[in-house]
Amino acid sequence: MAVTKILVPVDGSTHSLKAFRMALDIAKNNDAKINVLTCLEKDDVGAWYIDKRTNKKIMNDAKKFAKEFLSKLEKPAKDANVPISLNILETKSTSNQIITFSNSKKIDLIVIGSHGRGGFNKFLLGSVSNKVSQIAKCPVMIVK
């Protein structure tokens, strides 16, 4: 198993940042490339009844915010000499988007945090990491 492409789904939570740090270590050892993926959920935006344009504005703001956040990850990757590509996608289902992304880009390893932003229960897995670990076709590393 030669790992050349690593996917790290990042949502800004501490678990996902931990996963990113671990992915950097693995990429350093294997000379691999890192793909960072952030998914923005369309359904979340609840302002459609006010004005349709508000929705677009919210999405644009979210995109800007995500871009700003992801650009912070570029520096540690550069320090470690790891090539990195940032992806921001709009989607209806985060977990499905992660899986289709990993299939289409032929990812060798997914490094994912055990919980995202919505996790309450510290003993079990978050819903997104659970679904990804079950359905993805490549090895999945779950970071706690």
Task: Using the minimum distance from each CB to other proteins, give the nearer residue, 19 or 40.
Answer: 19
**Identity of residue 90:** E
21 vs 63 by CB, closer to other proteins: 21
Are 132 and 95 in contact by the 8 Å Cβ rule? The answer is yes
Sign of the torsion angle spanned by Cα atoms 17, 112, 3, 108: negative
Q: 141 phi and psi, to 5 degrees?
A: -110, 125
Binding to other proteins (CB under 8 A) within 26-55 occurs at 29-30
Choice between 66 and 142, CB closer to other proteins: 142
* For other proteins, the closer CB: 82 or 136: 136
Residue 28: how many other CB atoms lie within 10 Å? 13
Query: Closest distance between other proteins and the C-beta of residue 2, in Å?
Result: 8
Could you tell me the end-to-end alpha-carbon distance of the chain, in angstroms, rounded to an integer?
Answer: 23
Residue with tokens 């706690």: 144
Write out the binding residues for other proteins, residues 103-142 only, by CB under 8 A: 123-125, 130, 133-142
Q: Which residues bind other proteins (CB under 8 A)?
A: 1-3, 21-22, 25, 29-30, 123-125, 130, 133-144
